[in-house]
Structure 1
Amino acid sequence: MTLLTASAGVLAQGVIKIGEINSYKAQPAFLEPYKKGMELAIEQINAAGGLNGKKVELITRDDNANPGDAVRVAEELVSRDQVDVLTGSFLSHIGLALTDFSKQKKMFFLASEPLTDKIVWQNGHRYTFRLRTSTYMQVAMLVPDAVAMKKKRWAIVYPNYEYGQSAVASFKALLKAAQPDVEFVAEQAPPLGKLDAGSVVQALADAKPDAIFNVLFGADLAKFVREGNTRGLFKDREVVSLLTGEPEYLDPLKDETPNGWLVTGYPWYGIKTPEHAAFLKAYQDKFKDYPRLGSVVGYSSIMSLAAGIKKAQSTETEKLVTAFKGLSLMTPFGPITYRPEDHQSTMGSFVGRTKNDGGKGVMVDFRFLDGAQFLPSAAEVKKLRPAE
């Protein structure tokens, strides 16, 4: 027994623990594939000999879509499980709670998916970095096409929490700057997951907008599309829609998929790069399923941590922070860099139009936009972000 215990102890010292926190029960459409993406990355890293000679272990916890619970499980991961780094979160207000926890505890945190700009700007600090293309970046990618539509009267609909508010603030500011005569004639902000589709669609229709900016996703999006189709809200109207091209949200629309919406998303079936082909094959071989955008984010967050730990030759927080500033690595979406000035990665996004292709929603006429081209300069960031 003593021998076994001793050897187990030696092995345990040779483990790098990644603590991950997310809203698995509340947002399964995105987070089940996300978890699979993480598992694939961990498997590949360990098959290649681990990191700095140590095996990597992933410990995931559910935050019940509640910021208080997220902070409590973060505490447990740090004190009880003794994880080396923290990552995760999906909902932006929870991402902000964990960003704050990371600051208080001086604990390295890679925010994988929460999109609010505050994570790297207003609430940004030394110990938090973010992978995913932010609300500002995705809106900035859509605005040039929105301006080209030459529509004056816009209606806006968004889930009333941090992500929706952040996206709308960016859209209004960037559209107004490019097209000063724009008018915002209606705004509907239902609580997340509690959309009363009939009244929201009616209110938007009553305002007689020329175009609509939509930020709803998941079950809210499905209800909005169904009701909007029924009441003819989208007929002869341009719609610009955040995230709608992600298979997580587009696939469930099936034969209700609207045609011609301008969206950000993930046309996994049409990406012809070697790095994406390698990821697609590995994912399909392991899971017998196609990847969703969550899969790419989960995979890339673990691969980012691996690249940072390798560069730092350590999991010590201060060394990791130094390693992550300017860290570059390859992802299924091509090379990304974590900017030293705001800790935001330059991960890009696909922009295209929706198409109802025989009862299945797809993205067509899409192009990939490099995130680095849609971020403010270091001088502008200085004004947005507290000094370290």
Structure 2
Amino acid sequence: MRTRLRKSVAFAALAIVAATGVARAQGEIKIGEINSYSALPAFTEPYRKGWQLAIEEINAKGGVDGKKLIVISKDDAGKPAEAVTAANELVSREGVALITGTFFSHIGLAVADFAKQKQVFFMAAEPLTDAITWSKGNDYTFRLRPSNYMQAAMLAEEAAKLPAKRWATVAPNYEYGQSAVAVFKELLSKARPDIEWVDEQWPPQGKIDAGAVAQALLASKPEAILNVTFGADLVKFVREGNTRGLFKDRSVVSFLTGEPEYLDPLKDETPKGWIVTGYPWYDIKTPEHDAFLKAYQAKFNDYPRLGSIVGYGTMKAVAAVLAKAGSTETDKLVAAAKGVEVDTPFGKIVFRATDHQSTLGAYVGKTDVRDGKGVMVDSVYRDGANYLPSEEDVKRLRPQG
């Protein structure tokens, strides 16, 4: 009798523990997050702070449908294979409802393919290659940041106004750089058929021989240069270019250079007058951005970078999708994400149903030096919705079915 009683009590206790575990699980939604934290901390650390702030705000307001959002984060070390391994672990071991993140374009494409194969919802945060929403787009992948096409269209619009006819390019030799150069050349040549492309430099990402690149560009005698380098490569390129007079009396159009992550390290070496996309947080005066800036500075005692905006916007988008879906089932998340509206520090954005691209825009302006620091001046926000191809064009660019 005592043995049976003990077994009954033990079974009841286990049942209570199991029920409690289920209750806790039902009160949470797990989100898998992957990024190149150790490979590119200048961007990904502010990005992490951004999503941490967003999650804190979302949970403080009751989460999504009363469920707390829990983020399980992994570092892919800048390697596609590690990113896919991380994604697999998040789905199979951690039981996440969806995956977010990635920075480098080739890594974003690898995780997007994983999402397609495993039928998992993937909110790509930062990769810029057009392939992720077009030629290699799939039902399960959505992208937050303005793509190469969008930023190229913004920059080409300004570049077309320049008198320069002889153009050269420099870009890292991988998916992002190749994609950015291709679409910029296409758009600028369309606007200005008189343009001549006189040189292309393709240094390996993170391993630029800046002196040799600058010298080769000088030898081609361009009147203008498209730059797509970033991070430590950008600093080296600018330093060698300044030393050799590469930028003297030449126009330069540059992807991303106005982002604080990449502009700040240049300090007083920042070239003046480059046409850039970026994030002049110090000059943005809108209610949405003011509220974000105040909350970010209060939490981190630091100013935001573009990564902060992306991380924040990513988790706000995830929460909006979950709320609209009313479920964590993948098919319902996919359906909800099409056309979902999201409030961001840059204003309201929409994820297009056609190609799963958000309408988040970017600031376009010029580089300058202020108090010994690189800044963006004369900047204007360009709404991403105005720089996307038409729905009909997307149908030709993106696989159907």
Cα deviation code 1:4-52 (max 9, x no counterpart): 6753442133110010111100010000000000100110111101111
Over aligned residues, Cα RMSD in angstroms? 1.0
Give CA-to-partner distance per residue, 1:103-155, whole Å, 9 cap, x none. 10110000000000000000011110000000000010011210100211001
Work out which of the residue numbers 358, 372, 375 in structure 1 matches 2:371.
358
Question: Match for 2:37: what amino acid?
Answer: Y
Provide Cα deviations, 1:175-211, integer angstroms capped at 9, x if missing partner. 1111112111111000100000110000001111000
Counterpart in the other structure of 1:43: 56
SS of the equivalent of 2:160 reads helix
SS at match of 1:184: strand
Q: Which residue of 2 aligns with 1:339?
A: 352
Q: Aligned letter for 1:356?
A: V
Q: CA deviation at 1:291?
A: 0.4
Aligned-partner SS, 2:44 = helix
Partner of 1:324: 337
The residue aligned with 1:123 is: 136
Superposed, 1:213-224 pairs within 5 Å as 213-224=226-237
Give me the whole-angstrom Cα distance separating, in 1, the residues matched to 2:63 and 2:280.
31
- Residues 210-359 of structure 1 aligned to structure 2 (within 5 Å): 210-359=223-372
What is aligned with 2:97? 84
Q: 1:98 aligns with which of 86, 111, 125?
A: 111
Q: Within 5 A, what are the aligned runs for 1:132-151?
A: 132-151=145-164
Runs of 5+ unmatched residues, structure 1: none
Structure 1: which amino acid aligns with 2:249? D
Rg larger in structure:
2
- 1:193-251 per-position Cα deviation (integer Å, ceiling 9, x unaligned): 00001100000011110000000000000000000001110011100000000000000
Q: Does 1:66 align with 2:86?
A: no
Q: What is the one-letter code of the residue matched to 1:95? A: G
In the TM superposition, 1:113-192 aligns within 5 A as 113-192=126-205
* 2:152 alignment partner, SS class: helix
1:148 match: secondary structure:
coil
Contact 1:20 1:60 in 2 (8 A): yes
Q: 1:242-300: CA deviations, max 9, x gaps?
A: 00000000001001111000000000001011000000000000000000000000000
Inter-partner Cα distance in structure 2 for 1:36 and 1:180: 44
Q: Which amino acid aligns with 2:27?
A: G
**Helix, strand or coil at the partner of 1:248:** helix
The residue type equivalent to 2:43 in the other structure is: F
Which range moved further: 262-271 or 61-70?
Answer: 61-70
**Whole-angstrom distance in 1 between the partners of 2:60 and 2:51:** 14
User: For 1:168 and 1:311, how far apart are their aligned partners in 2?
Assistant: 37
* Further displaced range: 299-308 or 3-12: 3-12
Q: Percent identity?
A: 64
Q: Matches of 1:97 and 1:236 in 2, distance apart? A: 41
Structure 1: distance between partners of 2:91 and 2:20: 24
Amino acid in the other structure paired with 2:344: T
> Amino acid of the residue matched to residue 191 of structure 2?
A
Q: Deviations over 1:291-326 (max 9, x none)?
A: 000000000000000001001111111111111111
Q: Secondary structure at the match of 2:73?
A: strand
Find 1:56's aligned residue among 69, 78, 84: 69
CA distance in 2, matches of 1:346, 1:144: 18
Moved more, 2-11 or 167-176: 2-11
Runs of 4+ in 1 over 4 A off after TM superposition: 1-6
- The residue aligned with 1:29 is 42
* Amino acid across the alignment from 2:134: W
Q: Is the CA contact (8 Å cut-off) linking 1:356 and 1:362 kept in structure 2?
A: yes
Aligned mates of 1:52, 1:313 — CA distance in 2: 8
TM-score by length of 1: 0.98
> How far, CA to CA, are the matches of 1:134 and 1:83 in structure 2?
27
- Aligned partner of residue 138 in structure 2, secondary structure: coil
| Mapped partners of 2:123, 2:69: distance in 1 | 16
